[in-house]
């Protein structure tokens, strides 16, 4: 069967991406696969099933002749938020699913992988079908990052603080000086180009006018943030948005997620286990409220997403998702696709804030400066950090 170079490349990428999801879960005990300590966290078992369901639902069932679903009931179990595709398990109930078992989920993955491999190897596919495969791979890479963050939340809320594996540390023995880059006022273009895959929320590329600003070369460190804590930053309402101050009081917040005050020493849970806070590392696991309060305390501010993208070639990024001061809204000319795929991004363009860059756990090849991540302002469990402008 004659296949295009693109199709052959996607087949190789498919094998690599699917294998990496399994590798992420290899250090887990069977009991870890089912835990759901909060609504934002999905059990690892569910992630493995959901990304498999994506390929089955959007590619194999509509495009592969005579394809037989592994289990028709899995549409109810592994559908995430696609109203077009029918009813589904309530998100907060994902941790109550003792069945399907972990072994059955892995059998499901094997079945779909065999069917997808046969489909990609033996069928000459048009660009529309290949676009769906590429979307499915990027979707799974998103869930690979969520697997890491959700596993960390699961283990980090276990009183034993278990070790997952050796985490890639961002600590530097001699951190570089935190200089600033000046960006002149003017018209700039932002948004994705036609150079490769992007999500629909990165389109269309368009012009923005920016006033002049200066942006810091380095992310805010744990040492910087610990000074904010020690100065009473969590106890002074003047630095906080009203919603942020309400969040502080409701949750009695005093530090970033995973920081624990133990006999006067700040300890931090990472995938390596519990250790003393590493002061030179970029601060991590803070929400938008905390990032904004720290910026106000410093007499500075967070960048807009346009400022971040325009300046991104002037500094190193990729260890933390960086909060911006931009609400998650559509770009000019944004048009969601028809059908269930159209629910992928557009329906979430309300009440969320944009993060830019990527993090130390972002899958290889899944970052670009036009990428628009988005979370609610109170969410901390992602690998989030701060870069300041003035």
Domain harbouring 246, CATH code: 3.90.1580.10
The pLDDT of residue 2: 56
* Residue 311, pLDDT above cutoff 80: yes
Q: For residue 173, is it within any domain?
A: no
Q: For residue 163, is it within any domain?
A: no
* Upstream peptide bond of 163 is cis (omega within 30 degrees of 0): no
Mean pLDDT of 296-320: 98
The pLDDT of residue 167: 58
374 and 280, same domain (yes or no): yes
Look at 336 and 3; give whichever has higher pLDDT. 336
The pLDDT of residue 338: 85
Cα–chain center distance at 333: 25
Count of domains in the chain?
2
The pLDDT of residue 59: 97
248 and 127, same domain (yes or no): no
177: confidence class by pLDDT, cuts 50, 70, 90: confident
Cα–chain center distance at 94: 19
Q: For residue 29, is it within any domain?
A: yes
* Residue 1, pLDDT above cutoff 80: no
Question: Nearest Cα to 381, choosing from 22, 28, 36?
Answer: 36
The pLDDT of residue 176: 82
Q: For residue 134, is it within any domain?
A: yes
188 and 299, same domain (yes or no): yes
Pick the last residue of a domain from 124, 156, 188. Answer: 156
Per-residue pLDDT reduced to its tens digit, 12-38: 999 999 999 999 999 999 999 999 999
* Residue 165, pLDDT above cutoff 70: yes
Q: Which structure tokens are listed for 21?
A: 């999801």
193 and 106, same domain (yes or no): no
* Residue 143, pLDDT above cutoff 60: yes
The pLDDT of residue 195: 84
The pLDDT of residue 56: 97
81: confidence class by pLDDT, cuts 50, 70, 90: confident
* Residue 220, pLDDT above cutoff 60: yes
117 and 195, same domain (yes or no): no
Q: For residue 174, is it within any domain?
A: no
The pLDDT of residue 342: 80
Indicate the pairing of strand 180-183 with strand 373-375. unpaired
Pick the last residue of a domain from 123, 156, 189. Answer: 156
Report the chain's mean pLDDT, rounded to a whole number: 95
255 and 352, same domain (yes or no): yes
Mean pLDDT of 244-254: 98
141 and 184, same domain (yes or no): no
277: confidence class by pLDDT, cuts 50, 70, 90: very high
The residues pairing with 206 across neighbouring beta strands, listed in sequence order, are 190
Mean pLDDT of 85-100: 90
Asked whether the beta carbons of 318 and 218 are under 8 A apart, the reply is no
Secondary structure letter of residue 176 according to DSSP:
P
* Residue 389, pLDDT above cutoff 80: yes
Indicate the pairing of strand 186-190 with strand 206-210. antiparallel
Task: Annotate 358-378 with DSSP letters as a single string.
Answer: --TTSPTT---TT--EEE-TT
* Residue 169, pLDDT above cutoff 70: no
Give the domain CATH number at 104. 1.20.120
* Residue 171, pLDDT above cutoff 70: no
341: confidence class by pLDDT, cuts 50, 70, 90: confident
Mean pLDDT of 107-126: 96
Q: How many CB atoms lie within 10 A of CB 183?
A: 19
Mean pLDDT of 80-91: 84
247 and 332, same domain (yes or no): yes
The pLDDT of residue 168: 56
Q: For residue 334, is it within any domain?
A: yes
Look at 142 and 341; give whichever has higher pLDDT. 142
Asked whether the beta carbons of 169 and 281 are under 8 A apart, the reply is yes
Extract the runs of DSSP E, i.e. beta strands, from the chain.
Answer: 180-183, 186-190, 206-210, 213-216, 259-262, 265-270, 273-276, 321-327, 353-357, 373-375, 384-385
Question: Does this model's pTM top 0.85?
Answer: yes
The pLDDT of residue 152: 98
Cα–chain center distance at 359: 8
235 and 367, same domain (yes or no): yes
Task: For residues 56 and 229, give the distance between their C-alpha atoms in angstroms, rounded to a whole number.
Answer: 48
Q: For residue 298, is it within any domain?
A: yes
Question: Nearest Cα to 85, choosing from 128, 56, 119?
Answer: 56
The pLDDT of residue 174: 60
Task: For residues 174 and 177, give the distance between their C-alpha atoms in angstroms, rounded to a whole number.
Answer: 9
259 and 379, same domain (yes or no): yes
Pick the last residue of a domain from 114, 141, 156. Answer: 156
Q: For residue 236, is it within any domain?
A: yes
* Residue 344, pLDDT above cutoff 90: no
188 and 94, same domain (yes or no): no
Structural domain span for residue 206: 180-385
211 and 352, same domain (yes or no): yes
């Amino acid at each position: 069967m004659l296949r295009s170079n693109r199709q052959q490349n996607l087949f190789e990428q498919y094998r690599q991406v699917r294998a990496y999801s399994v590798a992420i879960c290899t250090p887990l005990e069977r009991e870890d696969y089912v835990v759901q300590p909060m609504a934002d966290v999905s059990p690892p078992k569910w992630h493995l099933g959901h990304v498999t369901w994506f390929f089955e639902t959007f590619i194999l069932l509509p495009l592969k002749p005579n394809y037989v679903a592994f289990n028709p009931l899995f549409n109810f179990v592994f559908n995430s938020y696609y109203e077009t595709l029918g009813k589904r398990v309530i998100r907060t109930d994902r941790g109550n699913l003792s069945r399907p078992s972990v072994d059955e989920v892995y059998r499901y993955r094997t079945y779909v992988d065999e069917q997808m491999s046969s489909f990609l190897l033996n069928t000459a596919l048009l660009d529309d079908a290949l676009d769906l495969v590429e979307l499915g791979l990027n979707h799974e890479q998103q869930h690979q990052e969520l697997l890491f963050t959700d596993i960390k939340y699961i283990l980090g809320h276990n009183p034993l603080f278990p070790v997952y594996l050796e985490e890639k540390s961002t600590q530097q023995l001699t951190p570089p000086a935190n200089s600033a880059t000046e960006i002149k006022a003017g018209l700039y273009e932002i948004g994705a180009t036609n150079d490769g895959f992007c999500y629909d929320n990165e389109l269309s590329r368009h012009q923005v006018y920016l006033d002049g600003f200066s942006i810091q070369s380095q992310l805010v460190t744990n040492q910087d943030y610990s000074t904010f804590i020690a100065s009473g930053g969590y106890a002074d309402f003047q630095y906080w948005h009203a919603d942020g101050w309400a969040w502080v009081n409701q949750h009695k917040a005093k530090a970033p997620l995973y920081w624990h005050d133990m006999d006067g020493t700040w300890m931090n849970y990472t995938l390596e286990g519990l250790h003393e806070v590493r002061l030179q590392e970029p601060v991590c696991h803070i929400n938008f409220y905390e990032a904004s309060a720290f910026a106000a305390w410093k007499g500075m501010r967070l960048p807009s997403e346009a400022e971040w993208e325009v300046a991104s070639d002037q500094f190193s990024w990729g260890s933390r998702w960086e909060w911006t001061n931009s609400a998650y809204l559509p770009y000019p000319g944004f048009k969601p696709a028809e059908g269930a795929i159209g629910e992928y991004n557009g329906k979430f363009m309300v009440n969320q804030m944009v993060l830019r860059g990527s993090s130390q756990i972002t899958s290889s090849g899944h970052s670009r400066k036009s990428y628009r991540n988005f979370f609610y302002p109170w969410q901390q469990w992602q690998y989030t950090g701060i870069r300041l402008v003035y």
